Structure 1
Amino acid sequence: MSVLGRVVRSGVGRRRVPTVVIGLATLMAVAASVLGGSLLVASSAPFDKAFARQQGAHLSLQFDAGETGADQLSAAADAPQVTATAGPFRTASVTPEPERGIPGEPMTVVGRADPGGPVDNVALTEGRWATGPGEIVLSADSGLFVPPGMRLAFPELPGEPTLTVVGLARSVSRTADAWVVPSEMDSLTAPGTVGGYQMLYRFTEADTAAQVTAGREAVTAGVPAEAAAGAQSWLAVKKRAERDTALFVPFLIAFGVLGLVMSALIVGNVVAGTVGAGLRRIGILKAIGFTPGQVVRAHMGQALIPAAVGAALGAVVGHLLAVPVLSQAETAYRSTGLSVDPRVDAVVLGGVLGVVAVTAWASAWRAGRLRTVDAIAVGRARLPGRGRWAARVAARLPLPRPVGLGLTRPFARPARALATGTAVVFGTIAVTFTFGLSASLSEVLTAREHNAADVTIGDPEAGPRPNGPGAGPAEAADPAAVTAAIDAQPGTRAYYGAATTQATVSGTSGSLTVFGFTGDASWGGYRMVSGRWFDGPGEAVVPTPFLTATGTRVGDTVTLNGRGGEVRVRIVGEVFDTRNDGMDVFTDAATLTPTEPDLAPTSHHIAVTPGTDVADYIDALNAELSPLGVVARTGGDGGESDVVVTLNALATMLTLLLVAVAALGVLNGVVLDTRERVRELGVHKALGMTPRQVIAMVVTSVVVTGLAGGALGVPIGVALHGWVMPAMGDGAGLTLPDSVIAVYDAAEVVPLALGGLLIAVLGALLPAGWAARTRTATALRTE
């Protein structure tokens, strides 16, 4: 082994604590970076990747079984544009009764023996596929939250069949709400009906609506014109999926970028501190004949060896952490099959090791240029003048002597305290920023639901149902009878009704949805961006995309062209809304009465008085509503959505990783400082300082740094959040309400600032324990 190799090996073995710190910091950084990089990759076109992976259907066609047969549909699929087909599968529309006698939404069930195939590979997310009669697999996106093992009853069908849920699955093409074996379809087809057939197609070209339409015309040319009962283009599914994820994709991207940046900064800080503490050793190496280049290579090797080991272990840990995280991301993106991209491993490993190499090179090169005598002198110098004024001030304070000695330590080594404080600042910024992102995300997802009601009757979103599986008409009932039942129910605090219609706006193309409210709906979860909620007929509030598309602003007047004529409304407010691409109008129902006198509410939203049991209220109300053919359900405040829970879990995991990395940066600085003053510690112990007092002295040496870092990191994190959030909204074409951006208050800022102190103390505990256990004689012999 060469002399340089022996120096590298001895340096790694002799300086065990810095070696371990570099390895651990690199391990945590790589793990956080793999996690963050995986989120970045998963957040890039999640629908397109899932569609390609699952061989999604470019076109899903529904046929009337009374007008055509399976053989005819199979023969008609041999069109030149078709590259693959699946089906025909028998279909039926049914309404299950999952629990408590409350019927669920109508849903489309498809008879399919196998989840795989050339088109639309259905991916199981939980449980297994149905293998025989009496079993059903639910779509994870159906909205019917029934876990495997529970049973679904169909009381409206002959024999009242009951099926056991054996699995949950996800179709990227959204081709069904549930699947059963083909032989089960006879029991799910209502008497007097023949059901339908579903055909799934992939085309050679399907990038535009015109190409999909051409493919549809080709495959339906051989069947009767009246046989085609419905169609769903993959472009419509993609648009809906991207609209659903547009708001939280930027959040996941921000989490990923934060993990990458934090990891690089902390690792660089740790390596720079470790190399900088070896100035005396550098001087000795130069004294025995090492050139500056050899000094640089030696210290780079001493940093890269533990970093490489830590990076390898970090990649393994990152993969293990990424499994549950990507599983949660699948829930958020309604996708399947997400995994760590090999390119993430390559970029992260290369990037982190590159940061280590560059930082070690820069620090060693700067030290290597010092004269030999200067390097030795700097490495051994006590710098006697520094920190004396702080020691004199601490001596006058009514503090225990060990605490006073600890508090003055940062002033004796300001450069090292600055490096340690930098790690605390970065950690506090990460915690503050991640906390804000998580809180803002919860506000965004809550704001877009528009359902602060405790109880809803009819369509919870008060809007038209989209075309596709599970679509059906909104529940209809006599509005006067429904409101009478609500008024008579004890515990009713407030309620409003919502009706919907379609209209166009003069000067623009395309239709939009108009929501007409009876009663005051301002409490129903509609977050205002600017202006105010409407007060009466003739006024309306609209989302940001509406203002952008029509070139209007709050205060302008627009003309709505409805089924019965024109209605002019004045825009009095801008509301946060993401449905229907933001092309909605919210107004008083009386505004629409002149043109549509028969327009009636299709949903009712109720707030109960404080202390009222919602479940008992719903049971009592349903007893009154049963003759009317409508059902009351729990409203939007029943709990956090799966997406909120999922993304909060992601934020928590990444925050813990970043805090650990920052704490390692502190640990490195305290270890270097403790090693440097080990003889001083021996003197203190010889004079009677107990192990507990030693621990107190070492821990309090980072208190000032932790408090200062927290006090600096929190405002930077808040400012970063305030800058990033509006940019995210602009990227999605939305103006975010103040409630989404202003998520910090004094009760939260103070604990966040103290988080810097917590990070510093966590990093100092280990070296404090080492210092307390060091024998006095050993410490005194150390030079």
Structure 2
Amino acid sequence: MSALGGVVRSGVGRRRVQTVVIGLVVMIAVTAAVLGGSLMVAAEAPFDRAFAQQHGAHLTAQFDAARTTAAQLAASATAAGVTEAAGPFPITTITPAEERGPVRPITVVGRADAGGPVDAVTVTEGRWVTGPGEIVLHGDIRLPPSLQPGVGDVLSLPDLPGGPALTVVGVARSVSETAGGWVVPEQVAALTAPGATAGYQMLYRLDASGTAAQVDAGRAAVQASVPAEALTGARSWLTTRTNSAGNTVLFVPFLIAFGVLGVLMAVLIIGNVIAGAVSTGTHRIGVLKALGFTPRQVVRAYTVQALVPAVVGALLGVVAGNLLVLPVLAQTNAVYGTSDSGVTPSVNVLVLVGALAVVAVTAWAAASRAGRLRTVEVLAVGRTPGPGRGQWAARLAARLPLPRPVTLGLAQPFARVLRSATVVAAIAFGAAAATFAVGLGASLNEVRATEKHGDVVIFPGRPMSAPPPEGGPPVEGSPRVASGPPPAPDPVAVVEAITAQAGTAGYSGVAQTEVTAAGLTSAVEALAFTGDGAASSYEMISGSWFRQPGEIVVARPFLTATGTRVGDSIVLTDHGRQIPVRIVGEVFNPESRGMQVLTAVATLAAAQPDLRAVEYFVTLTPGTDPAAYVQALNTALSSVEATAEVVEQEAEEVLIVINTLTTLLTLMLVTVAALGVLNMVVLETRERVHDLGVHKALGMTPRQTITMVVASVVVTGLIGGAVGAPVGVLMQRLTLGEMGRVTGFELPASVVDVYTPVTLALFGLGGLGIAVLGALLPAGWAARTRTATALRTE
């Protein structure tokens, strides 16, 4: 072994604590960088990647079976501009029913298999259909809470001859959203109502589809290749991409914020650890130079000495990052509709090379500075700070009415101001990450809470029950089969039961219909309210809640789409009847992507909303037991064909993913910050080990030693927390602002202002917690060091 190799081996083995710290810091930093980088790649244009992976349809077309044939449609695959086609698939529309009444119509396509050259449907649960009586539902289909798409559910179709039922055998995802459900082709005829027009669906991929004009040109070519008036409707993939952006765009600013934070923190901590490791070897460098080592050899030795544990840590970090990204990306795949494996070679290589480059450059710079010193100067400097460094702080701390071990510790950070500043920055990053993560989670939960419009919901119909087997009692867990739509309950009787029930704070009845608005090409939902509780269940951005017929309240996306603002008038149209209204307020309403109209029932009296779909939301007085309230209310509603249930919200996939990522990344960043503190305290303790021996010789007990070492990080911890907490708040506001911008919403104050003075103070003290956590291990080492050993160390 060469002399240089011996120096490297000796340095790595002798300074085990620093070697382990370097390896751990690099490993965690690389893990965070790989995780964040892989997810940032996954969040980049998720719809486009899912569209490419599933060979999505640029054009989804529907044809009248009475005006064309399957053979003619198959021949349209050769139309100008068409590169691939799938179909024709028979298509129909079904309207399942349940105890509450009919749900929204579902477009069902007859398709023998999930694959194909266009729109390769991904089965996410269960299996594909194999015969009649089975259906695979699209994962994003909107059904009532009591009938969520799940394997084993049964959809009843009482409006069809014989009242057939379809068993859900699978849940799938189509990035092109070509259907709400799929059955075998021979099933479609039995699902088509008598007198209804049969249809076919064709799926096309075009050679040019980047703009609306190009897709329209492809549609025109397809239309020209089939009989006149055979094409009854078509949808562009550009429309689907726009509609799908609501969930996926939330991840981009979130991941960018955490990614930038992780990268900056990794660079800072790695640089601080490596620079500290080299600086503590200054005396040893003088010895090496005295033995004949050249400055270049010294620099090379200490650079390699830092790279050895860094390489091991970086490799372990790449492995850990890829292992962590797999379960997280499994959730993001479910949200995005992608099929990413999680392993991104380019990210792995970039992070690995970048981390080692930071280590090499930092170690080279620190060792070069020591290598340029003259041998006598290096030997004279030793490891302890030069005389006079931090003396003013020591004198000032000595005047404080505190125990002497505490004042000695409080003055230590000022002896190495630059090193202390880097540790303050590391603690600030950790505190900022915790503040940002908790605030973002609270804000997203507030967004979720805005979708809850009451504590109890009342809907038409009686509670569901499973069919009894062979005349026996209902079996718990059996598939629920609906018996058809119930009669509409008497609204007067429902309101009387609500208002007479003890614990009622307010209520609102909601009837739903669809209207068109001037400036919009498609219909939007209109919610017509009665009662006194609707205004309190929505967050107002500007203006006021509607007070009389002819006034409406809408969200920012509606204002943007129609080019209007609060105070403007607009005309709504329902079945050819025009309804002039005035926009009196902007509300935060993320439902239906903000394209809802909220108004009084009297405004839409001519719209005749489906009375069977009317629901009542009840707000309870504080302290009221929801379960007992519902039980008593159902007794009062038993004679009016209505049922009350407690409103329960299920966690959305997007929130689950974001909360998982915030928790994971925050723990990693806080751990890295604590390791940075540990490294600093280890360096300070080793540099002052002789002073420590003097203190012990003068009577300092182990407990006082621990107190002194812990006190040495109090100042840096408090400053880091005081800086990090406001930075975390700023990051939360910037991220929420970007989320609001990309989704088109103006976020209310209740969503943005989630911090209180008490919570901010706790986050500020969190920096002190990070500092103390990192100092405990070296403090214990200092307390166990024997006095004679410390005095012999120079």
TM-score, reference length from structure 2: 0.83
Report the secondary structure of 1:117's partner residue. coil
Counterpart position of 1:611: 625
Contact in 2 for aligned 1:618/1:633 (Cα 8 Å): no
Report the alpha carbon displacement of residue 307 of structure 1 after superposing the two structures with TM.
1.6
- Contact 2:97 / 2:485 at 8 angstroms: preserved in 1? no
User: Secondary structure at the residue paired with 1:410?
Assistant: helix
Query: Which AA in structure 1 matches 2:457?
Result: V
The SS at the match of 2:178 is coil
Matches within 5 A, 1:47-446: 47-63=47-63, 70-95=70-95, 105-131=104-130, 136-143=135-142, 146=148, 150-154=152-156, 156=158, 165-182=168-185, 196-220=199-223, 228=231, 230-337=233-340, 339-381=342-384, 383=386, 406-446=409-449
Cα deviation code 1:724-749 (max 9, x no counterpart): 43354345444322122211113422
| 1:527 paired to 2:530 | no
Q: How does 1:704-743 map to 2 (within 5 A)?
A: 704-743=715-754
AA aligned opposite 2:253: P
- Aligned length in residues: 755
Matched ranges for 1:8-23 at <5 A:
8-23=8-23
Which residue of 730, 751, 755 corresponds with 2:762? 751
1:485 to 2:474 alignment? no
Q: Aligned partners of 2:563 and 2:73: how far apart in 1?
A: 47
What corresponds to 2:466 in structure 1? none
| Cα separation, partners in 2 of 1:300 and 1:93, compared to 1, 3 Å | same
Name whichever of 35-44 and 508-517 sits farther off.
Answer: 508-517
Amino acid at match of 2:154: L
Contact 1:25 1:664 in 2 (8 A): yes
C-alpha separation in 1, matches of 2:764 and 2:741: 30
Give matches, 1:448-597, under 5 Å: 449=451, 451-452=453-454, 454-455=456-457, 457=459, 481-482=490-491, 484-489=493-498, 490=501, 493-505=506-518, 513=524, 516-520=528-532, 522-523=534-535, 525-545=537-557, 547=559, 553-554=565-566, 556-560=567-571, 562=573, 563-565=576-578, 567=580, 569=582, 571-577=583-589, 585-591=597-603, 596=606
For 2:494, give the aligned amino acid: A
- Checking the alignment, whether the CA contact within 8 Å between 1:36 and 1:260 is kept in structure 2 is no
User: Which residue type is aligned with residue 556 of structure 2?
Assistant: T
| AA partner of residue 541 (structure 2) | V
Corresponding letter in the other structure for 2:175: V
Q: CA 1:304/1:708 → structure 2, altered by over 3 Å: closer, same or farther? A: same
Please give the TM-score of this superposition, normalised by the length of structure 1: 0.84
**How much does 1:207 deviate?**
2.6
- Report the residue type matching 2:324 in the other structure: L
SS in 1 for 2:615: strand
1:678 corresponds to: 689
Q: Which amino acid aligns with 1:527?
A: E
**Which residue pairs with 1:25 in the alignment?**
25
Change (3 A) 1:697 1:271: same
Structure 2 residue identity aligned to 1:726: G
- Paired with 1:152 and 1:592, the residues of 2 have a C-alpha distance of 35
The alignment yields a C-alpha RMSD, in angstroms, of 4.0
Q: Contact 2:91 / 2:108 at 8 angstroms: preserved in 1?
A: yes
Partner residue in 2 for 1:647: 658
Counterpart of 2:257 in structure 1: which amino acid? A
Within a 5 Å distance, the mapping from 1:757-772 to structure 2 comes to: 757-772=768-783
Q: CA deviation at 1:425?
A: 1.2
Instruction: Out of 180-189 and 738-747, give the one that drifted further.
Output: 180-189
Deviation at residue 682 of structure 1 after TM alignment: 4.9
Letter in 1 for 2:586: E
Which SS does the other structure have where 1:175 is aligned? coil
1:113 Cα shift?
A: 3.7
- Kindly state the Cα deviation for residue 426 of structure 1 after the two structures are TM-superposed: 1.4
Is the Cα–Cα contact under 8 Å of residues 544 and 735 in structure 1 kept in the other structure?
yes
* 1-structure distance, mates of 2:40, 2:180: 30
Q: CA deviation at 1:319?
A: 0.3
1:185, distance to aligned residue in structure 2 (A): 5.5
Once residues 84 and 633 of structure 2 are traced to their aligned partners in structure 1, the CA distance between those partners, rounded to angstroms, is 49
Alignment of 1:656-667 (within 5 A): 656-667=667-678
Q: Provide the residue aligned with 2:34 in structure 1.
A: 34
Q: Which moves more between the two structures, 660-669 or 164-173?
A: 164-173
Q: Tell me, in whole angstroms, the C-alpha distance in 2 between the residues paired with 1:350 and 1:632.
A: 61
User: 1:347: Cα distance to partner?
Assistant: 2.1
User: What amino acid sits opposite 1:658 in the alignment?
Assistant: L
Q: Structure 2 counterpart of 1:353, which letter?
A: L
Listed one character per residue, the Cα deviations across residues 116-147 of structure 1 (whole Å, up to 9, x for unaligned) are: 22111122334444456665543322245757
Residue number in structure 2 paired with 1:468: none
User: CA offsets, 1:166-210, max 9 Å, x none?
Assistant: 543221111233344556657756678786543322222223334
- How far the C-alpha of 1:234 sits from its partner, in A, is 1.5
Distance in 2 (alpha carbons) for counterparts of 1:494 and 1:393: 65
Q: Distance in 1 between matches of 2:304 and 2:555?
A: 58
Cα deviation, residue 47, structure 1: 0.4
Aligned partner of residue 382 in structure 2, secondary structure: helix
Return closer, same or farther for 1:4/1:624 CA change in 2, 3 Å cut-off: farther
Deviation at 1:51, TM superposition (A): 0.2
What amino acid does structure 1 have at the position aligned with 2:507? A
On the 8 A contact 1:695/1:768 being kept in 2, the answer is yes
Q: What do residues 64-102 of structure 1 show as CA deviations (whole Å, max 9, x unaligned)?
A: 55665544533443434322222333445445579x888
Provide the C-alpha distance between the structure 1 equivalents of 2:670 and 2:388, rounded to a whole number of angstroms. 35
Task: Give distance in 1, aligned partners of 2:240 and 2:636.
Answer: 37
The offset of 1:45, in angstroms, is 1.0
Q: Secondary structure at the match of 1:675?
A: helix
Q: Does 1:782 align with 2:785?
A: no
Cα displacement (A) at 1:718: 1.7
1:644 partner letter: L
Cα 1:161–1:761 change in 2 (3 A) is: farther
Structure 2 unaligned blocks of 5 or more: 461-483
Gaps of 5+ in 1: 459-474
Compare 769-778 and 314-323 and name the one that shifted more. Answer: 769-778
Distance 1:135 1:584 in 2: 34
Amino acid at match of 1:763: G
Q: Which amino acid aligns with 1:736?
A: L
Deviation at 1:524, TM superposition (A): 5.8
CA distance, structure 2, for counterparts of residue 580 and residue 147 of structure 1: 19
Change (3 A) 1:618 1:70: farther
Equivalent residue for 1:638? 649
Q: Structure 1 residues 186 and 689 mapped into 2: Cα distance closer, same or farther (>3 Å)?
A: farther
Q: Is the 8 A contact 2:546 2:584 kept in 1?
A: yes
Question: In structure 1, how many angstroms separate the alpha carbons of the residues matched to 2:625 and 2:372?
Answer: 75
Q: How far apart, CA to CA, are the structure 2 residues paired with 1:689 and 1:259?
A: 40
1:199 match: secondary structure: strand
